[in-house]
A = this chain, B = another copy of it.
């Protein structure tokens, strides 16, 4: 069974290669009657698109979304919504020099072993360009979630050794989009940006962490056993290019803790809602949301494309040298923010629909 589909009820199928005619997505399962805000879809794509600032790749792509189906008179019809983004700046010549070489820590070697026949132009389907389709679909999921009172924020909380140490509850998320790094703490953002510039100057790249929170998720979303809310979130986030780790709630810190310390005791608040005094659970208990904020962190490795020459082999197994010539990001983190939000939105929309089936 192919791996280009995500979700069960709110479901997307993506397609397209970095340097083919287009990339795109079919969203199947969006309920009828939803107002589809095309300007918002475009705005989300603009947050992800290359060339948006000095610290991301300079490939020129307008990433203009074309809706081909499923929307009539501004609202979803319940039919599949197909969105196509045509590739514009697809300079295939840039990549001919690596057609037969395996770039270290890219997918060139594994695709070749698996499929025998590979579109090597810009990484083909393994390129992070594929994630634009996710962002377009995520924008529609966000429209539906907004109607349920759910909102999602992601931000860069670490670039290399520069970490944002403040608890997320203390941050003002309105700062996130005010700087090219997408860190809501301006002073830390400046240090992160300086580091990215320095790394880029060296022809190198650097990793980091994106943090995220979903606010307003009603209690009761998520499924028992395998499709736990946090397990689906984990898969969603780990499927983003370059992601190496996922933790939610207490995460890896929870390994150090005692039960008496980690347990989130229940109480009733002034509005008589059942709440927990702490939230080490990260808003999810037994795989199902409990109405508290859902928060998580995702680690990203440094981008694999670097300028210095690297040892490698070619598809004949001969020794080869790979040099980075394509346009690339020195740090994937700033552009990862909207992608993390999109994947989170897709999981939550799916779980929101699944929750409709729980009772007779």
CB pair A72 B239 closer than 8 Å: no
CB pair A311 B267 closer than 8 Å: yes
CB pair B288 A114 closer than 8 Å: yes
From residue A79, how far is it (CB to closest CB) to chain B in Å? 4
Contact A209 B252, CB 8 Å, known A15-B70, A274-B317: yes
**Which of B20, B115, B299, B312 is in CB contact (< 8 Å) with A33?**
B115
From residue A69, how far is it (CB to closest CB) to chain B in Å? 4
From residue A167, how far is it (CB to closest CB) to chain B in Å? 17
Residues in B whose Cβ lies below 8 Å from that of A235: 226, 231-232, 234-235, 238
**Which of B15, B29, B124, B313 is in CB contact (< 8 Å) with A266?**
B313
Interface centre among A223, A247, A251 (most CB of B within 10 A): A247
CA of A110 to CA of B288, assembled, Å: 6
A-B contact pairs, 14 of them (CB 8 A): A2-B28, A3-B226, A13-B28, A15-B70, A23-B69, A78-B114, A110-B222, A110-B289, A199-B258, A206-B259, A254-B301, A255-B300, A259-B306, A266-B311
Within 8 A of B (CB), among A1-35: 1-6, 8-9, 11, 13-17, 20-24, 26, 28-29, 31-34
Within 8 A of B (CB), among A168-209: 199, 204-209
Q: Which of A38-46, A48-56, A57-65, A349-357 lines the interface with chain B?
A: A349-357
From residue A68, how far is it (CB to closest CB) to chain B in Å? 4
Q: Is A215 an interface residue (CB 8 A)?
A: no
Within 8 A of B (CB), among A224-250: 224-228, 230-232, 234-236, 238-239, 244-250
8 closest Cβ contacts across the A-B interface? A107-B286, A3-B223, A3-B227, A245-B247, A205-B259, A110-B288, A235-B235, A15-B80
A interface residues, how many (CB within 8 angstroms): 151
Q: Is A106 an interface residue (CB 8 A)?
A: yes
Residues in B whose Cβ lies below 8 Å from that of A102: 266, 274
CA of A220 to CA of B26, assembled, Å: 23
Q: Is A326 an interface residue (CB 8 A)?
A: no
CB pair A317 B268 closer than 8 Å: yes
